[in-house]
Amino acid sequence: MSRSSTQFWLMKSEPDVYGIADLERDGREPWNGIRNYQARNFLRDAMAAGDLALFYHSNATPPGVAGVMRIDSGPEPDGLAFDPDSNYFDAKSDPEEPVWIQRQVAFVAAFESFVTLADLREDPELEGMLVTRKGQRLSIQPVEEAHFWRICRKGGLTKKAVLEKSGQ
C-alpha cells in the first residue's frame, strides 16, 4: 500500500556532472551541493523518505526529464560544506549547526524515452509547471501528482510500473 501522503518533486542535475546513468550505476547517492535556500528548505523540511522525484537533466542538449528516483533518507548535513577543498565549501555551515542539507536518493527507473523540456511545454495538461516557466532556476521543485504521472507516461512508464520499481 502506498502512502497517501507521498509527495512529488523535480530535481535538476547537469548530466555532464551527474546524470541518470550515474544514479542507475550507483543505485543510491547523496543529493548534495544544493546552495539555494528555497531548495534547501524543500530538502530539509518538505520532503519525506519515500517521496518520488523526476530526475531532470539541466544544461543538456536537449534539457528534460530522464527518469525517476526515490527520496531514500531523512535530511542529513551536507558534508561538502565543511570541506575547504570542495567547490561547495561554505564557512557559514559547521557540523554543530549545518546550513546546507542533503538527502540520499535511490534509483527507480530510467525513462524509455527522454521527455524534453519542449515536450513539457507543448503539453496542455502540464500547463503551470514551474520548470516550464521562463527564467526559473529553482533546482528542487514540487510537482503536482497528476503532472508527475503524466510525465512518467510520456517517458514510457505506467504508474503501476513506477510504483513497482520504487518498492511502493
Contact call for residue 153 and DNA (CB under 7 A): no
Coil, helix or strand for 125?
helix
Among 38, 41, 113, 158, binds DNA (CB under 7 A): 38
| CA torsion angle 34 40 45 51 (round to 10) | -40
Is 97 exposed, middle or buried, given 0-12, 13-18 or 19+ CB atoms closer than 10 A?
A: exposed
Contact call for residue 59 and DNA (CB under 7 A): yes
Q: Please choose, out of 32-40, 41-49, 93-101, 152-160, the segment that lies near DNA by the rule CB under 7 A.
A: 32-40
Among 36, 73, 86, 168, binds DNA (CB under 7 A): 36
User: Is the distance from CB of 138 to CB of 9 less than 8 angstroms?
Assistant: no
Contact call for residue 32 and DNA (CB under 7 A): no
Residue 90: CB atoms within 10 Å: 16
Q: Which three cell numbers stand for residue 47?
A: 520532503
CB of 117 to DNA, least distance (A): 5
Residue 64 DSSP label: E
Q: Please choose, out of 42-50, 68-76, 97-105, 137-145, the segment that lies near DNA by the rule CB under 7 A.
A: 137-145
Binding mask 85-124 for DNA (x = CB under 7 A): --------------------------------xx------
Amino acid at 78: D
Contacting residues toward DNA, per CB under 7 A: 12, 14, 35-38, 58-60, 62-63, 117-118, 134-139
